[in-house]
A and B are shown apart, each in its own frame.
Chain A
């Protein structure tokens, strides 16, 4: 029993927004839904939330079509943030909870708890437009969970947050998971995905490119990454000193950092070869690590562009805008 997205197809005129989107999310998991802008993430989310109907395919939660489930099953934090600017935070959140059928007193209690947890206890009586952008984002997060949904779906929840607020939100994610909730979110911050998610899918042009447990996805490339630090790294002649690494067959320097050097090792090449070569050269090795490629590298490799790169959609057109193909 899980959230099953089963071969969704959705066209807007000549534009194919979803072309067989297919994945599943296990209950209680934190799931990363990754893809470049326009890959079909928002369209998929809108179909799961029954804001759109697919041309083909289905979405089910615990075996039931999502369109038949109560709206309060879902908590939704949309990519485009928005609240009633002149309304007091408490009134606003109680209003949203009320739309999901939550009694007023329960809603007020829940809001107070979450405001405390997100370090915003004084915000309850304030107007929304008096809050900073980051704090408004936290209020929106509460609006998405105030009715205690089973599944929380968030589109770019970390966008625009400073490191402190990001950390607070991450902690909130983990707490939601500890309560047995299922969390699905999209982001371009791959380090956050690696820190939080058990499993992910990377989507492109309306279909899944790769998916599964994070570790499995990272190993799909067959390549390995070596991080090596040599005594004397960071010296002025450092870059020249690394030339011998680039000259090794099957090895490519991908991050010539001052603290350590990151190398990509071709499939089939034993990473220990690099360590042996360094020792033979007489360079003292202070750090040597063999790891899987980062999700960012996998993303770039699979999609061909860097997440969040300048592939922004232009203004929505009739064909693509209803809804936006994210």
Chain B
């Protein structure tokens, strides 16, 4: 009989890798081709595509809703000019649409003063308010008060319209006052009441908006991965215990090989399902405008494209923190699974781990709106929260390379320690049947276990 290298007690790297891959392969093939797996993947993919199509539906709804913008002007001429120009610009029917049947999406209302307008905004009589003021140099300045972010399509289009109003106003002053200066584009500011609007230092508003959405999506993805596929690992270990096949396994492979193989195999199965769910949804997001064009006629313009913020470094950061985070949590889930004799008990024992990942996810979600706060910075180095929080910082804040390197190093180091600890827990736990041990008794047993 031919024996492959690395089969000795002191496993060589080849032997370790071979056994871990064998176990990973078995885990993968045990899950992926099953009907349950395929059915769950298809159902989740349909849900994800549905969610990805939601913005198109929202845009469709928005199109049917009239946006009321109150205009506060310094004089009648500016008021008339702005009403006329913005109406023509914002309410221009798309190409190929009959102007007679076209329903204007914007209603422009002149307001007597700013206080009245702002009151109308707070009472929802108005959707937004554009305040136009004349400066000491005779030029106009525009302030757009909106509940949306500065990067929203409406804010941007009003900004473009403001330039036109400024030009009209400049031209209107030329004949009677030949001393008027050269035209300068008017100042345009957006005051957003959107609490999620990021305050990143140097990104342009559109990019911040896109990245904010993207960061939320990626953090949710990491959270879902850690909890769902972490539970897969735990239940898989518990299943091997409950079917007693563990007794055979543990005499053929080391606990570390079993642990790593299981995490890699289940992780691979999880990634496969992930890809099956995410790729169709990502394609929908990527081609959102084209799909909207096909589904909604005429196509609304100015929609956001969340994947615009996805750069190669961000994708690399996501994959890095995704893999390291999964490794860390999955090892702990495996150790937790080894402590129960029945699969039904896994949920109970894995609850603390789920709470830790949930707390980290919430911290990252909150951190998106205060990305530079000291707490967020600290959490981006704490191993259990860093996969979430550092990713958020990378996407929305200014992070020095050494900070990322340090966070990754701490995460890798902790995963190494967890591997040793989890191997011991696993080696002890998998031979443990019956009632759950007390902590001290378990530690005593783990001390002499073969990790």
**Interface residues, chain A, with chain B CB atoms under 8 Å away:** 12-13, 46, 49-53, 55, 67-72, 74, 76, 78-87, 95-96, 98-103, 106, 110, 140, 143-144, 147-148, 315-319, 321-324
Contacts and interface: CB of A to CB of B under 8 A. Distances in A.
Interface of B: 1-10, 15, 18-19, 22-23, 26, 30, 240, 243-253, 427-429, 431-438, 441-442, 444-445, 448-450
Nearest to B34: A86
Contacts of A322: 428-429, 431-432, 437, 441-442, 445, 449
Given A321-B432, A321-B433, A324-B431, A101 B442 contact: no
A148 B1 contact: yes
Contact of B1 (A55, A83, A106, A144): A106
Top 4 A-B pairs ranked by shortest CB distance?
A82-B244, A101-B7, A318-B437, A318-B441
Contacts of B429: 322
B441 A13 contact: yes
B259 to A, nearest CB: 14
A72 B3 contact: yes
Contacts of B26: 84, 87, 95
14 contacts: A46-B431, A70-B8, A80-B247, A101-B5, A103-B3, A106-B1, A315-B433, A316-B432, A316-B434, A317-B434, A318-B441, A322-B437, A323-B432, A324-B431
Nearest to B19: A99
A148 B7 CA distance: 13
A68 B42 CA distance: 49
Nearest to A83: B245
Contacts of B4: 101-103
Nearest to A50: B450
A62 to B, nearest CB: 14
Contacts of B251: 49, 51, 71, 74, 76, 78
Given A71-B251, A82-B240, 7 more contacts: A13-B444, A83-B243, A101-B5, A101-B18, A317-B435, A318-B442, A321-B433
A99 B442 contact: no
A52 B248 contact: no
A101 B22 contact: no
Contacts of A67: 9
B434 A101 contact: no
Contacts of B252: 71, 96, 99-100
B369 to A, nearest CB: 47
